[in-house]
């Protein structure tokens, strides 16, 4: 029997060494299921987890323009009212995960519910529920919904800091509208960033098949605990090619709680610019360490300055997270909120020191453009508010160097920036957040001489 089982497992793609792994070992495949002979199966785990993964249907009214409707003769001939609605109803689908059965909280991707007029959640038992949007965070691509229902099933969170490359994982979602589809694979890589998908990126990469409609679904370990929220695929054709990405559970949990508590994410401004430590910098600072990030600039009056950070400091740990790469630092900044006190470990002059960052609400009124993004080098910005119109606000470009890139692309002193990357901005803090949405370009909506225009800086 054992020989036949080994042969069968090898045909299924499992190596003989799989049989030698303890059933209770983390990341190990189950060797048997009661009543199912000696064949490995994930059926018991999935019977528990599947009811917590839901289908999310969204309905959106898309406005459109038709020149004929602007023609008085056409409207009069066909008896069309002047204010007739000009829109069509569209529907899209995605996935979500129940994370709090008692309170009815569901986590999904922001892009699944963005611009939705109506959100309907379909449970595995056939119930259809109207969902309320609790809050969303476009920079991490997460949103929290709430439904009123009894007898919900929820998943428990794994500690995603313990996930290792090679761990077995299972993706559950509704690809192409096919309910409760399960695929399996392994963790292919950790800490993926620089993909230009979201503002803050710290993805778990997996080869478990993820397709359109899987967005917002669950990536779980073999114990059925939530490792991450599936969010994106990397494929020229839009289909699965074995490269999928999930937002780690620890980040999901922190953002989720912030959205539940406040309805929005209130990130604290660190006020520090950093770059990755490399061999040349390590030699310049006379340190043996070859990983971490180096402080290159500290914003006056910021939390970083108050904590005592200075250019040349090498940051090696923020909170519980060890900082080995630039992506480690940026992803940790994604879960640092106003009111937090965060311990920071640094190397300074070869000695280890410990500082505490106290993240207060950002009240910054002026900033150099380069402190927001290098593409904005050569300009100066300040918060703008029109006392004659309390609802009119934005960020004023008080100075634009004529030799700068922003000037070359069309930005001028006196322009009021009211939108960045298709997000409304009312102050410098919101401008910073919006710039993170697209690393390739900065799309500015500006108000100048009574008119609105667009400036794209690449």
Residue 163's pLDDT is 92
3-class DSSP string for 49-75: HHHHEEEEEEEEEEECCCHHHHCHHHH
Q: Which of 212, 210, 241, 213 is nearest to 228 (CA)?
A: 210
Residue 97's pLDDT is 96
**Token pair listed for 87:** 């829109």
Grade residue 36 by pLDDT with cuts at 50, 70 and 90: low
For residue 70, being part of any structural domain is answered with: no
**Token pair listed for 46:** 């999935």
**Token pair listed for 454:** 């667009």
**Structure confidence by residue, pLDDT tens digits, 112-168:** 988 788 999 999 888 999 999 998 888 788 999 999 999 999 999 999 989 999 999
Grade residue 302 by pLDDT with cuts at 50, 70 and 90: confident
Grade residue 71 by pLDDT with cuts at 50, 70 and 90: low
**329 and 270 Cβ atoms separated by less than 8 Å:** no
**Token pair listed for 420:** 């960045």
6-16 average pLDDT score: 38
Cα–Cα separations (whole angstroms), residue 452 to 59, 375, 446, 449: 30, 21, 6, 8
Q: Which of 278, 315, 280 is nearest to 295 (CA)?
A: 315
**Structure confidence by residue, pLDDT tens digits, 393-426:** 889 998 898 889 999 999 999 999 999 998 889 8
| Domain end (from 263, 294, 316) | 263
Residue 180's pLDDT is 79
374 and 438 both lie in a single domain: yes
Residue 191's pLDDT is 83
**421 and 437 Cβ atoms separated by less than 8 Å:** yes
| Domain end (from 224, 239, 263) | 263
Pairing of the two strands 142-146 and 105-108: antiparallel
124 and 219 both lie in a single domain: yes
Model-level pTM?
0.70
Q: Is the pLDDT of residue 84 over 70?
A: no
Strands (E), 101-141: 105-108, 118-122, 128-130, 132-137
Residue with tokens 């402190």: 371
426 and 316 both lie in a single domain: no
Burial of 291 per CB tally in 10 Å (0-12, 13-18, 19+): middle
Domain of 30 in residue numbering reads as 2-40
Grade residue 345 by pLDDT with cuts at 50, 70 and 90: very high
Residue 99's pLDDT is 96
Q: What is the DSSP string of 256-309?
A: HHHHHHHSS--BPP--EEEEE--HHHHHHTT-S---SEEEEEE-TTSHHHHHT-
**Token pair listed for 357:** 């960052």
Who has greater pLDDT, 448 or 269?
448
**62 and 88 Cβ atoms separated by less than 8 Å:** yes
Q: Is the pLDDT of residue 4 over 50?
A: no
Burial of 215 per CB tally in 10 Å (0-12, 13-18, 19+): buried
122 and 259 both lie in a single domain: yes
Any idea what DSSP says for residue 119? E
Cα–Cα separations (whole angstroms), residue 438 to 125, 195, 246, 360, 441: 39, 10, 19, 26, 6
First to last CA, the chain: 64
Please provide residue 210's backbone torsions phi and psi, each rounded to the nearest 5 degrees.
Answer: -125, 125
Q: Which of 369, 455, 388, 370 is nearest to 419 (CA)?
A: 455
Q: What positions carry a catalytic annotation?
A: 111, 141, 215
Dihedral sign from CA coordinates of 9, 10, 16, 21: negative
350 and 436 both lie in a single domain: no
Q: How far apart are CA 80 and CA 292, in angstroms?
A: 65
| Domain end (from 329, 358, 387) | 358
Q: Which of 85, 147, 80, 135 is nearest to 110 (CA)?
A: 135
Residue with tokens 């439904």: 147
**393 and 426 Cβ atoms separated by less than 8 Å:** yes
255 and 280 both lie in a single domain: no
Q: Which of 267, 112, 293, 291 is nearest to 200 (CA)?
A: 267
**Structure confidence by residue, pLDDT tens digits, 157-201:** 999 989 999 999 999 988 766 677 899 999 999 888 766 666 677
Cα–Cα separations (whole angstroms), residue 191 to 118, 126, 279, 293, 320: 34, 37, 21, 15, 16
User: What SS3 state is found at 434?
Assistant: helix
Any idea what DSSP says for residue 183? E
6 and 128 both lie in a single domain: no
279 and 143 both lie in a single domain: no
Residue 60's pLDDT is 78
114 and 247 both lie in a single domain: yes
Which of 12-21, 174-183, 229-238, 332-341 has maximum average pLDDT? 332-341
Q: Is the pLDDT of residue 391 over 60?
A: no
Who has greater pLDDT, 18 or 448?
448
Question: Which CATH number goes with the domain that contains 434?
Answer: 2.30.42.10
76-92 average pLDDT score: 62
For residue 63, being part of any structural domain is answered with: no
For residue 238, being part of any structural domain is answered with: yes
Any idea what DSSP says for residue 426? -
For residue 84, being part of any structural domain is answered with: no
Please provide the average confidence, as pLDDT, over all residues in the chain.
81
49 and 193 both lie in a single domain: yes
**344 and 330 Cβ atoms separated by less than 8 Å:** no
Residue 225's pLDDT is 95
Total number of domains in the chain = 4
Please provide residue 87's backbone torsions phi and psi, each rounded to the nearest 5 degrees.
Answer: -160, 160
Residue 123's pLDDT is 93
User: What SS3 state is found at 355?
Assistant: strand
Q: Is the pLDDT of residue 86 over 60?
A: no
């Amino acid at each position: 029997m054992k020989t036949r089982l080994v042969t069968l497992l090898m045909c299924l793609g499992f190596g003989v060494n799989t049989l030698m792994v303890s059933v209770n070992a983390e990341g190990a495949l189950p060797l048997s299921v009661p009543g199912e002979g000696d064949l490995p199966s994930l059926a018991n785990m999935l019977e528990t987890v599947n009811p917590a993964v839901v289908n999310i249907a969204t309905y959106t009214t898309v406005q459109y323009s038709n020149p004929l409707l602007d023609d008085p003769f056409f409207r009069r001939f066909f008896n069309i009212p002047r204010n007739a609605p000009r829109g069509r109803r569209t529907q899209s689908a995605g996935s979500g995960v129940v994370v709090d059965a008692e309170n009815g909280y569901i986590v999904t991707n922001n892009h699944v519910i963005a611009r939705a007029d109506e959100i309907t959640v379909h449970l595995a038992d056939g119930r259809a529920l109207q969902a309320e949007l609790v809050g969303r965070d476009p920079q991490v691509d997460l949103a929290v919904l709430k439904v009123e229902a009894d007898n919900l099933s929820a998943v428990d969170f794994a500690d995603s800091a313990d996930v290792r490359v090679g761990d077995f994982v299972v993706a559950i979602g509704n690809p192409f509208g096919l309910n409760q589809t399960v695929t399996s694979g392994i963790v292919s890589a950790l800490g993926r960033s620089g993909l230009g998908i979201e503002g803050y990126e710290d993805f778990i990469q997996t080869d478990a098949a993820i397709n359109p409609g899987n967005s917002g679904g669950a990536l779980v370990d073999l114990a059925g605990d939530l490792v991450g929220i599936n969010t994106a695929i990397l494929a020229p054709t839009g289909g699965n090619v074995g490269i999928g990405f999930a937002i780690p559970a620890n980040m999901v949990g922190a953002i989720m709680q912030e959205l539940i508590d406040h309805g929005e994410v209130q990130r604290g401004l660190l006020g520090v610019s950093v770059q990755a430590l490399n061999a040349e910098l390590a030699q310049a600072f006379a340190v043996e360490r070859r990983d971490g990030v180096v402080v290159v600039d500290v914003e006056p009056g910021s939390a970083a300055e108050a904590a005592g950070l200075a250019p040349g400091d090498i940051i090696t740990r923020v909170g519980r997270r060890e900082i080995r790469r630039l992506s480690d630092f940026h992803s940790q900044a994604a879960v640092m909120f106003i009111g937090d006190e965060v311990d920071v470990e640094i190397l300074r002059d070869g000695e280890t020191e410990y500082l505490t960052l106290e993240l207060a609400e950002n009240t910054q009124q002026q900033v150099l453009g380069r402190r927001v993004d290098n593409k904005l080098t050569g300009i100066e910005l300040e918060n703008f508010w029109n006392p004659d119109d309390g609802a009119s606000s934005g960020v004023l470009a008080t100075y634009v160097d004529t030799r700068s890139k922003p000037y070359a692309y069309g930005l001028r002193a006196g322009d009021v920036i009211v939108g960045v990357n298709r997000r409304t901005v009312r102050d410098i803090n919101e401008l910073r957040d919006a710039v993170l949405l697209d690393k390739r370009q900065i799309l500015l909506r500006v108000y100048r001489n009574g008119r609105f225009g667009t400036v794209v800086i690449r």
